[in-house]
Amino acid sequence: MLVLIYFLIIIQPYLYIASITIQDPGDIIDTSKDTADNAIKANYNVMPVMYLLSPLQATSFFNGTQSSSWISHQTFSATANDTNVIVVGNGAQLNLSFVNIVKTGYSSNLLQASFFGVNAAINIQNGSRVFFDHLNVTTHNGAANLYSYGNGSYAYVENSFLYSSGPAAHGLYAGGYGTVVGKNIAHYSGGNRCSSFAGDSPAGYVTISDAIAHTDGIGSATFYALGTITATNVIGYAANAPALFSDGRQISVFTNCDLTAGLLAGTVMFSSMIRQQGAMLNITNSRLTALGNTMPGLWFGNVIATVYLYNTIINTASNILVTANYSQVTQDFNYYAGYPDNPNLLPAVVTINVVECALTGQLIAYNGSSINWIMSQYSTWNGNAYSGYGNSYISISLDSTSIWNVTGNTMLQNLTTSNNSLANINSNGYNISYDSNSTMNSWLNQTTVSLTGGGKLMPAIPGQSVITTTQVTTSSAKQQTPSHSISIFSVPKIFILHLFSIKILIFLFFH
């Protein structure tokens, strides 16, 4: 599959549209040879032990604070189970350039692989530092390409190609407060639960720029956040997963990214155990696409989260922008868990700040969840909001520069405005009901008001059976000059590039 990139070039007084094509990493290797390997499911049904059960095994060790090595144009390999190809430990430093690394062999305990990097091709441990360029890392049977573990452990990888088959074989992977930085990375994984760029317990710090990633397995997201994810200029295609899994109080920042998801939602933010507060997602100058007919752009369950969207497009086949629910994701990562799966969940609580965006779709809350939708700085939203099941709460805030085009009859819990103006709500013939008993609606005096577009704002009828519970707040804001940003065309696989810092990704591969 080829990735087509469109961008604008302005040479006064003319405007040009240019394009380049970037190769999909999944086309570089014949993936059909790994069909059986990729059919193996990740098995986490093992006794959880939060310490390394036995010393790491590897074919090559670089160890100790006095160890500093520079190696180029060599090949390293390992074939045994539960064995790393390279371990860099105890403060050692390793530089690799133009090196091939091949790993086969299975992991007998995926929790040991997840928490300590057992069976990964490259394992950086305990304050060690590595600097790699032009690596070609190929793993089979379920082995991560590179794992960085422990405080002070740091891995920098650039101009490299990563390939994996088998379960839980992540690309660039950090856990135990380790750090990994990748630049000009091409990654492909075909197995189950094999994210391209991932953090793990208790936290991993992952920074990715100028990269292209393709995953095909169920549960294999482009990004998995346990810790922090920072991504700039990344094209990601997750055929059977969201672009992002974020579990608990994690932080994810995407800038100039084009992310496509094929299962569950565009992004999925949840807490796998007790509901956590403080999850954050920031998407700037980017595009998020959710391909499935029931997939929302943003999904939240059992979490308290804040989202910032700036000059960003969210495309959904379902016409659902946001879903918040009393729910989480199952260990299989292929469906949402409800009360029968886990009776100890809590509703999602999410605040979404929308700045300089034009968005279309519905906001849906379930089972006591709440969505606070805040629009500012010339944002436009075409949509409506409602409760999918039970009493849920949705607030919508618009500043004086933003517009809400209503696409369905809606019942509001509260409607407040500092200037008592409804001019930026276009009803399109739909009616909006509000709770006349709410003190926040006292300024309406239980009256019916005609809205632009032929609809009406009216008090809800007592006992009226309406499944929508929405709170809308409109407030005036100081007029600001719209920022000048690149236009984004609705074509497949758009990568967003600034007019003043156009970056063309060039991946350098070797045999």
Q: Which residues contact 34 (CB under 8 A, 6 or more apart)?
A: 140, 165, 166, 190
* Contact between 222 and 239 (Cβ < 8 Å): no
84 versus 3: the higher-pLDDT residue is 84
User: Token digits for 438?
Assistant: 């709410």
Q: Cα separation of 351 and 353, whole Å?
A: 7
What is the percent of the chain with per-residue pLDDT over 70, rounded to a whole number?
Answer: 85
Looking at residue 393, its pLDDT comes to 87
User: Token digits for 440?
Assistant: 């926040």
* Contact between 138 and 114 (Cβ < 8 Å): no
Looking at residue 14, its pLDDT comes to 52
* Structure confidence by residue, pLDDT tens digits, 148-197: 999 999 999 999 999 999 999 999 999 999 999 999 999 999 999 999 99
Strands (E), 216-316: 223-225, 227-238, 244-247, 251-255, 258-261, 267-270, 276-284, 287-290, 298-301, 303-310, 313-316
Q: Which residues contact 54 (CB under 8 A, 6 or more apart)?
A: none
In 3D space, the residue among 125, 118, 117 whose CA is nearest the CA of residue 65 turns out to be 125
HSE (CB half, 13 Å, CA atoms) of 214? 18
Q: How many CB atoms lie within 10 A of CB 240?
A: 18
Collapse the DSSP code of 219 into the 3-class scheme (helix H, G, I; strand E, B; otherwise coil) and give the result.
coil
Looking at residue 235, its pLDDT comes to 97
Residue 108 predicted with pLDDT over 50? yes
* Structure confidence by residue, pLDDT tens digits, 460-499: 876 553 344 444 444 433 323 223 222 222 223 333 333 2
How far CA 11 is from CA of 8, 14, 414, 497, in Å, comes to 10, 5, 49, 16
In 3D space, the residue among 443, 402, 409, 438 whose CA is nearest the CA of residue 423 turns out to be 402
Reported pTM: 0.88
How far CA 123 is from CA of 10, 91, 224, 379, in Å, comes to 46, 13, 19, 46
* Contact between 199 and 175 (Cβ < 8 Å): yes
- How many H helices and E strands in the chain? 2, 43
Looking at residue 324, its pLDDT comes to 96
Residue 85 predicted with pLDDT over 60? yes
Q: Cα separation of 16 and 20, whole Å?
A: 13
Q: Residue ranges per domain, the chain?
A: 36-45+56-211+224-232, 242-480+489-501
Q: Give the single-character DSSP code of 428.
A: T
Three-state helix/strand/coil letters over 68-83:
EEEEECCEEEECCCCC
Kindly state the average pLDDT of the residues 389-411: 88
Looking at residue 200, its pLDDT comes to 94
Collapse the DSSP code of 348 into the 3-class scheme (helix H, G, I; strand E, B; otherwise coil) and give the result.
coil
Residue 316 predicted with pLDDT over 90? yes
Looking at residue 121, its pLDDT comes to 98
Q: Cα separation of 39 and 41, whole Å?
A: 6
What is the percent of the chain with per-residue pLDDT over 90, rounded to a whole number?
Answer: 69
Dihedral sign, Cα of residue 327, residue 329, residue 330, residue 331:
negative
Sheet holding 425-426, edge to edge: 358-360, 380-383, 403-406, 425-426
Kindly state the average pLDDT of the residues 211-237: 98
Burial 194-207 (b: 16+ CB within 10 A, else e): bbbbbbbeebbbbb
How far CA 484 is from CA of 287, 311, 320, 379, 429, in Å, comes to 17, 10, 28, 14, 33
* Structure confidence by residue, pLDDT tens digits, 239-298: 999 999 999 999 999 999 999 999 999 999 999 989 999 999 999 999 999 999 999 999
Dihedral sign, Cα of residue 48, residue 52, residue 57, residue 60:
positive
Among the ranges given (58-62, 125-129, 491-495), the one the predictor scored with the smallest mean pLDDT:
491-495
pLDDT mean across residues, the chain: 86
HSE (CB half, 13 Å, CA atoms) of 229? 33
